[in-house]
Structure 1
């Protein structure tokens, strides 16, 4: 289960990086349709950490790791709130608030990186301690 969790964490990091790519490529497009891949991956980024948290709980991984995985789903929900709030504030304050969307995205990258590092460490077997000759 530990190796599967580590593989899911690596997949999540790839999806989050792809999310940044699609946000940037959508920003260059003339209409909102260019953001469609960005929106679709947002759902994946919300659901995948929930699956990871459940798998980690079933695999009896440390509670902190379960919480970190689940927090990515929470950060994704914050992304939606930021976008909706920015849209509601219009052209005056909206862009300033929307900048938090990118900052929160960077926090997500940091959290996912931490999850991946810890998952990788737990999935790698340690050498048995024995007498050295």
Structure 2
């Protein structure tokens, strides 16, 4: 289950990087805004749903609480992205011709996206480290971590 989580975490980082690509290609597209940002908007749903799935997997795998929380945080930050976009549009719809307030608020969308990328990277890095740091399972005095450094289960320790 931990390897599945680590794979999903790596996928999430790739999805977030693709999201930045879709945002940039939409910003420089000659198509209308609704059409040019369609891939960016669709990927936003993935960035929300994937961490929700990952949070469930992490909880079922009994991963550290901090890792479960950071994974849930990504889904929460994805919701904040939508709130920022809605607020920016609301400021732009006030009839103000300068639209500086909406642009300033919408700038937070990019900053929040960078925070999402940073947290997703941290989750992926910690998820990759989990299988290496997992405690080996032992059954009835049998060492299941054969070849590991240190004394095997049941071996005699030299007297001091």
TM-score grouping bracket, smaller chain normalisation: over 0.9
Does the aligned pair in 2 maintain the 1:6–1:123 contact within 8 Å? Answer: no
Query: What's 2:85 paired with?
Result: 83
Q: What's 1:28 paired with?
A: 28
Cα deviation for residue 104 of structure 1 reads 0.3
Higher helix share: 1
- Runs of 4+ residues deviating >2 angstroms: 123-129
* Distance in 2 separating the partners of 1:109 and 1:120: 16
- Structure 1: how far apart are the matches of 2:61 and 2:149? 25
- Which residue pairs with 1:63 in the alignment? 65
Please report the TM-score for the alignment, with normalisation by the length of structure 2.
Answer: 0.78
SS in 1 for 2:63: coil
SS class of match (2:37): helix
Q: Which residue of 2 aligns with 1:100?
A: 108
SS in 2 for 1:29: coil
**Residue number among 148, 151, 157 corresponding to 1:128 in the alignment:** 148
Shift of 1:94: 0.1
Question: For this pair of structures, how many residues does the alignment match?
Answer: 131
Greater displacement, 90-99 / 100-109? 90-99
Q: Which runs of 5+ in 1 are unaligned?
A: none
Q: Following TM superposition, by how much is the alpha carbon of 1:124 offset from its aligned partner in structure 2, in angstroms?
A: 3.0
RMSD of aligned alpha carbons: 1.4
Partner of 2:5: 5
Pick from 64, 73, 76: which aligns with 2:75? 73
Query: Cα deviations across residues 50-82 of structure 1 (Å, max 9, x unaligned)?
Result: 000000000010011001001100000000000
Q: CA deviation at 1:14?
A: 0.2
TM score, norm. by length of structure 1: 0.94
- Per chain length, whose mean CA-contact separation is higher, i.e. which structure has more relative contact order (CA < 8 Å, sep 6+)? 1
Unaligned regions of 5+ residues in structure 2, if any? 93-98, 135-146, 152-160
Structure whose alpha-carbon radius of gyration is higher: 2
